Amino acid sequence: MHEMGLMEEALQMVSEDAEKHGLETIDKVSLIVGDLSNVLPDALRFAFDAFCKTGEIPRIGERAQLEIIRERGLARCALCGKEYEPSEYLALCPECDMPFGVIQSGETFKIESYEGS
Ligand SMILES: [Zn+2]
């Protein structure tokens, strides 16, 4: 489950940034997770809860909340220009049945924002 590592990295970054801004506790972390990012939201939540309980990352405690903002997967066919939602990374264009879709969005995994006090 690579989400554990991703979450740890994200929370470390948030924690360090919060320290710089003099915050003692993280209340909420918002992440953008693309449908094509190979990151499973359920696994992220599981990892987040685990870190909140153990308290092993400074400033991330049991009160912290996780918000996951989904980014829709979108591809544009390089042949016919059709835009479609690929169901997997190399989905076929529904118009011409060719695997020439160029991913437009949905690969993002990043920290959108966080709140602390
Ligand atoms: Zn096409």
Residue 82 corresponds to which tokens in the numbers above? 């059709």
Whole-number pLDDT of residue 1? 73
Could you give the number of structural domains in the chain?
Answer: 1
Annotated binding residue at 52?
A: no
Query: pLDDT by residue (tens digit) across 56-87?
Result: 999 999 999 999 999 999 999 999 999 999 87
The residues of the chain scoring below 50 in pLDDT are none
Q: Determine the structural domain holding residue 61 and report its residue range.
A: 3-73+106-116
Annotated binding residue at 96?
A: yes
Which candidate, 92, 110, 109, places its Cα nearest to that of 101?
92
Annotated binding residue at 21?
A: no
Which candidate, 114, 112, 117, places its Cα nearest to that of 31?
112
Question: Is residue 83 included in any domain, yes or no?
Answer: no
Q: Which residues lie below 8 Å from residue 72, measured CB to CB, with a gap of 6+?
A: 34, 35, 85, 105, 106
**Spacing, Cα 103 to ligand 1 middle (Å):** 13
The domain that holds 55 is classified in CATH as 3.30.2320.50
Whole-number pLDDT of residue 91? 80
Bridge partner residues of 76 (DSSP): 83, 102
Whole-number pLDDT of residue 87? 77
Question: Is residue 25 included in any domain, yes or no?
Answer: yes
